[in-house]
Structure 1
């Protein structure tokens, strides 16, 4: 049920176009008869002309039609056919060095590809393809292949050009990469907005909402602590968490099985392990977690460890609230935290019915 307090919160999120509320609510505009997602670029209606819904289906049943500007019935981060086509082309031939005639063969305008990739991934298509090629070179060097062989096999005729490109992407010269790890990063669409997943071939290291404040610094720290290169790509753990997230949001999964790697202090790891023990659909306070750890006065340290969690949803820091019953903080935004708690509690109620 949407309360008056919820309505005020949602209206402010609508005015501010807060991406963290994607999937949390939809707004029907009484004066136009359309309903929109929170980030719709259209002119904002007055509060008295808004009707709020938790699902698109509710808005449709109330007689509202979908807005043509924000397309609330499509995925908020739907990948265009052009982007899908190019990503597939890169995976089919990752060593390829792209030229204008290659785009022409696919009937794609290079400037359009550049713009859509920049919007989607924060990098141009050429940068994406180059990073993918460098990932292959990285694997070859780590496997013991000579740098010159890796250079030539990935399409670089100039050794200086290869080193420069390698340094820009990986952060160190290719001859230093014998002991360096590779982590792969993928963009995952979810009901609450896009997330980024970073993993090795064995485990998931990071899962965060793309619009989380400070995400860039978080990724950089991960790269430095693990002495890793982070490049575009998929691994088995990323495929696994993508599948499990879909099941979770569909209400079909309560416990994640994707292998994870915890990167933190001894105390932080103890806190994260306790978070994973909080039953699905329940919450605990920071003070309760501190008491469980044998140090009731350490609730502030628990809150800090909670905020340092890099595996959103999997390590359920959203289930930790203030002793007063207030939600407290959440890196992904309070709107998402409230939605996640309600989603899990609703799943428990549906089971009991």
Structure 2
């Protein structure tokens, strides 16, 4: 099942309500102005008879419409905010700089507005993001064999205790408490949608998560218990393989993930995860679809819980599960990220027509 657009009346009401549930999944083309918009566009609302809804930007362009200059439908949702775009560009230029609130004000932005925008789009403030970027440098220094003090200095922390606290808050363990003879190895992977952590043994991948996932620390604690405290920092063949496969995915070259996985869950949970892996890139399913697929049509809530318990993001594609009405539903990595992942995966479809033909077979 590809994403089938709801009725015209449903989408028009979503347009009137500026409902973000369909953002990135449906666009409105307005015949009276010749432009196409996100359903969350702040512009004056058109009449229903002047609206045509499409599921992709490409369809809007092919129909002869141009992109709205207010809601920027050609840009990712987050980057449509000029404050976010400017501050992310500034962070890329000076990743090792210790950003402060005064720097944000100096660039001409309101602190409270910036804070709300970043929290809404990324689950963290700009200052937290900048701090995480510096922590990544310290992590990589330690992973390459450097001492903890070298990692601290590379991350730009003057205080050893502050570095330990920041590291522990992110990973769940202070750098000095990471095992020197590990069974599981933690690696830091930068992606266009935010930094991720992988935890792998020498033969399998056990965890792949975005750092801002709320459940990350509890997931790491469980793995630490499983490994009897032997989680260290470093890279293995599976962590290198998933890094390569993620690069190919985000560059649009391949949606195939072949890294061997270690799945920590009940028999039922593993059945759900296997069903998720059977959803092809660019397609979506609902919780009820998954429940029927595994022969448990009444276990929709249990399927939802198993979906939320997934700790190997993207490889087990829980982001491909949407609401029965076609709207985006909850995602541990954030709805903005779920939207972008689904947009990325559309390029892996041979064509919408062929995809629909496969779905009805």
Query: Could you say if the C-alpha distance between residues 30 and 264 of structure 1 is closer, same or farther in structure 2, counting changes exceeding 3 Å?
Result: same
Partner of 2:10: 9
Unmatched segments (≥5 aa) in structure 1: 190-195
In the alignment, the residues of structure 2 paired with residue 4 and residue 118 of structure 1 have an alpha-carbon distance, to the nearest angstrom, of 30
Partner of 1:244: 249
Q: Does 1:200 align with 2:202?
A: no
Unmatched segments (≥5 aa) in structure 2: 225-230, 234-238
Query: Is the Cα–Cα contact under 8 Å of residues 35 and 67 in structure 2 kept in the other structure?
Result: yes
Residue 25 of structure 1 and its aligned partner are, at CA, apart by 1.8
TM-score of the superposed pair, with normalisation by structure 2: 0.61
Partner of 2:23: 22
Partner of 1:43: 44
SS at the partner of 1:268? Answer: helix
CA-to-aligned-CA distance 1:248-300 (integer Å, 9 cap, x gap): xxxx7564345655443343124322443467779765244137xxxx98676
In the alignment, the residues of structure 1 paired with residue 5 and residue 158 of structure 2 have an alpha-carbon distance, to the nearest angstrom, of 65
Residue 200 of structure 1 and its aligned partner are, at CA, apart by 1.8
SS at the partner of 1:23? Answer: coil
Query: Is the Cα–Cα contact under 8 Å of residues 21 and 329 in structure 2 kept in the other structure?
Result: no
Partner of 2:215: 218
In the alignment, the residues of structure 2 paired with residue 177 and residue 303 of structure 1 have an alpha-carbon distance, to the nearest angstrom, of 33
The structure with higher relative contact order (CA 8 Å, sep 6+) is: 2
In the alignment, the residues of structure 2 paired with residue 172 and residue 4 of structure 1 have an alpha-carbon distance, to the nearest angstrom, of 46
Q: What are the equivalent positions in structure 2 for 1:298-317 lying under 5 Å apart? A: 301-302=302-303, 304-310=305-311, 314-316=315-317
In the alignment, the residues of structure 2 paired with residue 2 and residue 276 of structure 1 have an alpha-carbon distance, to the nearest angstrom, of 18
Residue 19 of structure 1 and its aligned partner are, at CA, apart by 3.6
Residue range with higher mean Cα deviation, 234-243 or 126-135: 234-243
Query: Could you say if the C-alpha distance between residues 121 and 265 of structure 1 is closer, same or farther in structure 2, counting changes exceeding 3 Å?
Result: same
TM-score of the superposed pair, with normalisation by structure 1: 0.62
CA-to-aligned-CA distance 1:27-86 (integer Å, 9 cap, x gap): 123444432112212233343442212333443454543221112233434373652352
Partner of 1:68: 69
Q: What are the equivalent positions in structure 2 for 1:193-342 lying under 5 Å apart? A: 198-200=196-198, 203=205, 205-206=207-208, 216-227=213-224, 237-238=242-243, 240-244=245-249, 247=252, 255-257=256-258, 262-277=263-278, 286-290=291-295, 301-302=302-303, 304-310=305-311, 314-316=315-317, 331=330
SS at the partner of 1:267? Answer: helix
In the alignment, the residues of structure 2 paired with residue 278 and residue 346 of structure 1 have an alpha-carbon distance, to the nearest angstrom, of 17
In the alignment, the residues of structure 2 paired with residue 4 and residue 271 of structure 1 have an alpha-carbon distance, to the nearest angstrom, of 26
